[in-house]
Structure 1
């Protein structure tokens, strides 16, 4: 829905985000998220490199207790179909 109606999606978020929320920032975040979610392989496709980058960032901010083998926690087997 947000991909087809980005302005309306931003307005819906702003309705619940509080008075300090900024529409331009919300639109930037939406556009960024939509771009990140899409790939030539289709929406939602993810790579080992993306998962590793996420794990690295989470470790940097101490949200993960240690190293994670990202190949053990994600799969594309359902996306390949």
Structure 2
């Protein structure tokens, strides 16, 4: 009986060690996956913000040019100072 209990204890310890190694490997994978997911999300958000900012700027520029009164060429040369 004692020999059998020792063998069971030994196998239990080996099994525990293997499970711990597998667990550590899975934790490392999860950590790396979270980091890469965070980086991809941040990059996507920045690209969308840049793209959205460019669109808004173009819209503002076109709305500004639409708001300015268009002067005839003879009056615009007087304003700019060229005669």
| TM-score computed with the length of structure 1 as normaliser | 0.25
Of structures 1 and 2, the one with the larger relative CO (CA 8 A, separation 6+) is 1
In our comparison, the structure showing a higher alpha carbon Rg is 2
**Higher helix proportion, which one?**
2
